[in-house]
Amino acid sequence: MEILALDVRLDGYADPVGVLVRDNKGAVAFAYKAEYLSDPDSTPLSLSLPLTTDPYEDVVTRPFFDNLLQERDGALADIMARESLARDDIAGLLFHIGKDCAGALSVLPAGAPPTKVPGVYDQDYVPIPPDRLKAIVESLHKRRRLPEGTEDPSPLAGVQSKIALTLLPDGTLAEPNPGSGAPTTHILKVPDQDHLQDALLEAEAMHVSQALGFETAEAVVTPIADINALLVTRFDRGLDKQNRIVRIHQEDFAQALGLPASFKYERRGVEGRRFDVSGIRRILEATGDPAGEKDTFIRATLFDLLIGNADGHAKNFALLFEQGGRIRMAPRYDILPTRLDDRLTDELAYKIGSARTLNEVTIANFEGFLQAMGIDSAAARRRIRLRHTNEIASRLATHLAELNKGGMKRFADLIASNTRILLGALAVDVPDAA
C-alpha cells in the first residue's frame, strides 16, 4: 500500500489546519499544522483531538475520520468498487470523497484548493423545478437512486432517507451550483414506505421539545408528491456580515469520545470505550457551561424516556465549536418516538444506572445515573428527581389533548403510559391528564 498524505481543511480558514497520513501498512495518523496551532482563533477539530504539536496515532485518528464518512456502507459501495478500496481504508476513501464530508471539514489531496466556501443566495444556488423535486422525493421514499444529475452535496449520517438542500429566501428549495462549494441550509428527510408517519411524528416530537424549552432544530412537515417529508433547519449554519451562508464546526458525541460510528450505542461498546453516562459527563464538562449543559442533558433524558425516544445514541447529540473557542451543546435533533414502532428495540441508547429499558428504571437506577453525571449530593439528586420529573411530565401532559385532536392519539397514549410507568417508579405524582 502506498503512503498517502491528505490536507484537512476547516471552512473559514484559508490554509489547511492539519494533515491526515496513511502509511504503507494502512494505519492512519493526524497532526495539526504549526501555522494553525499558532493562530489565536484556532479550535480543536474534536474533543478527542486537542490542539497539540504531537501527532495522533491510528487508534485516536481513525474513529474521528471514519465518522466523516456516510454511516450506511451501501452509500460507499460505488466508490469502493470503482477504486478497489476496502471499507477500512479511511484515507483512501476520503481521497475520493473527502471534499463532500458532512459539516465544515473537508479532506483533500495534498495541495488541492479549498472546496467549501461561503454561499451567496442569488449566485450559488439553482432552484429545483417541481417535477425534479418530486422525482427526488419519490426516489428517497422508495430508497432508489436519486435522479440523474442529483448529488447530495453533504452526505449525511444515519439510516433515514434524506438529502441536504438549501431553502432560498423566497421559500424555494434549491441545490448548490455544481462545484461551487456552497453550504446547504436544510435537511429534507423522506420516510420510506414502511414508515409513512415518521415525518409527522418527528415534527410533533421536535415541536413539543421546543415548547418545553429545549433548544431544538426547526422542523416543518412539507408535503411533496403526496408524501409528508420533514424539512429540518441545519443548526450548523449561520450568516456572516455579508449575509453569506457559512458553516459552523460541529461534531457528534461519537467523535468527541473517539468512538467509531458502530459504537454509537452503549451496548455495542466495551468498558472504557463506549457511549455511556460517564463518557457523556466528560463531554459536557468540556463545554463552556458544564453545570448548565449537564442539567439540560438530564432533562433531555427524562423527556426522551417520557415520549418514547429510545434512540438517543451518540450521533444524535452534538457539540458546536464557536468563535473564541467556546464549546456548547448543539440544539436537539432527530427526536422520534421510536417505541411506536414494534420492529425497533426498546433498549435505551445508554443505560440509566443499570436500567436498559424504561421498565427497568428505579429510584436507585436514576440515582446512579445522576451520580455518574457528577451529582454527588444525595439531597441534590432527590431534588432533581422530584422537580425535573414533575416539571417535564406536567408540561408534556398539557400537550396530550392537542396531540389527540391532531390525529396523534397513539403518540399521546404512549406519553401517558410512559408517564405512569416512570413517575410511578420514581415516586412522583402522576399528572391527572396522564
Q: What pLDDT is stored for residue 12 in this prediction?
A: 85
Is 412 found in the same domain as 278? yes
- Residues 258, 401: one domain? yes
CATH of the domain at 144: 3.30.200
Query: How far, in Å, are 288, 369, 376, 387 from residue 292 at the CA level?
Result: 9, 17, 16, 16
Average pLDDT over residues 162-177: 95
What is the reported pLDDT for 333?
96
pLDDT band at 154 (very low <50, low <70, confident <90, very high): very low
pLDDT of residue 358: 98
Both 312 and 173 in a single domain? no
- Residue of 174, 184, 133 whose CA lies nearest to 154: 184
Burial class (CB in 10 A: 0-12, 13-18, 19+), 125: buried
Q: Which of 143, 168, 173 has the alpha carbon at shortest distance from 75?
A: 143
57-62 mean pLDDT:
97
What mean pLDDT do residues 383-402 have?
A: 97
> What pLDDT score was predicted for residue 74?
61
- Is residue 61 located within the same domain as residue 172? no
In a domain, 116, yes or no: no
Do 189 and 228 belong together in one domain?
yes
**Is 121's pLDDT higher than 50?**
yes
**Average pLDDT of the segment spanning 271-290:** 96
- As given in the structure block, the three cell numbers for residue 42 are 484556532
Which among 201, 233, 265 is the end of a domain? 233
- Report the pLDDT value the prediction gives residue 149, as an integer from 0 to 100: 63
Tell me how far apart the 2 most distant CA atoms of the chain are, in Å. 68
Per-residue model confidence (pLDDT) at position 294? 98
**Whether 203 and 283 share a structural domain:** no
Q: Last residue of a domain, which of 82, 109, 136?
A: 109
Domain for residue 238, yes or no?
Answer: no
User: Contact at 8 Å (CB) between 155 and 102?
Assistant: yes
Residues 160 and 256 in one domain: no
Mark whether 382 and 255 lie in a shared domain.
yes
Q: Is the pLDDT of residue 155 over 70?
A: no
Contact 18, 8 (CB under 8 A): yes
What pLDDT, on a 0 to 100 scale, did the predictor assign at position 153? 45
Which structural domain range is residue 62 located in? 4-109
The C-alpha atoms of residue 208 and residue 428 are separated, in whole angstroms, by 22
pLDDT value for 71: 64
For residues 328 and 221, state if they share a domain: no
DSSP-assigned letter for residue 49: B
Lowest mean pLDDT among 62-76, 269-283, 323-337: 62-76
- Say if residue 51's pLDDT is above 60: yes
- Does residue 392 lie within any of the structural domains? yes
Nearest to 336 by CA among 432, 425, 225, 204: 204
For residue 237, is pLDDT > 60?
A: yes
Say what the pLDDT of residue 101 is. Answer: 83
Count structural domains, the chain.
3
Strand intervals (E) in 213-346? 219-224, 227-233, 237-239, 245-247, 250-252, 318-321, 327-329
pLDDT for position 219: 97
Q: What is the CATH number of the domain that holds 269?
A: 1.10.1070
- The string of pLDDT tens digits covering residues 182-222 is 999 999 999 988 888 999 999 999 999 999 999 999 999 99
Which residue has better confidence, 157 or 236? 236
What rounded mean pLDDT belongs to the chain? 93
Question: Domain ends where: 78, 109, 140?
Answer: 109
Least confident window among 16-30, 73-87, 113-127: 73-87
pLDDT at 73: 58
Is 104 a member of any domain? Answer: yes
8 A C-beta contact, residue 247 and residue 11 = yes
Q: Which residues contact 205 (CB under 8 A, 6 or more apart)?
A: 307, 309, 335, 336, 337, 411
**Residue 151 domain-assigned?**
yes
Mark whether 293 and 411 lie in a shared domain: yes
* Beta bridge mates, 219: 232
Q: Residues 263, 386: one domain?
A: yes
Question: Is residue 221 situated within a structural domain?
Answer: yes
The answer, yes or no, to whether residue 145 has pLDDT greater than 60, is: yes
- Long-range contacts of residues 32-39, Cβ cutoff 8 Å, at least 24 apart: 39/13
Please report the pLDDT score of residue 134 as a whole number.
Answer: 96
118, 240 contact by CB (below 8 A): yes
**What per-residue confidence (pLDDT) applies to 70?**
76
Percent of all residues in the chain with a pLDDT value above 90, rounded to a whole number: 84
- The H or E element containing residue 7 is strand 4-10
**pLDDT top residue among 41 and 274:** 274
End-to-end Cα spacing for the chain: 62
Residues 271 and 341 occupy one common structural domain: yes
Give the pLDDT of residue 102: 78
- In the chain, DSSP finds a helix count (H) and a strand count (E) of 13, 15
User: In the sheet where 186-190 sits, what is the strand order?
Assistant: 125-127, 173-176, 161-167, 186-190, 227-233, 219-224
Q: What is the pTM of this model?
A: 0.93
Of the chain, the percentage scoring pLDDT greater than 70 comes to 96
| Contact assessment for residue 335 and residue 274, using Cβ atoms and an 8 Å cutoff | no
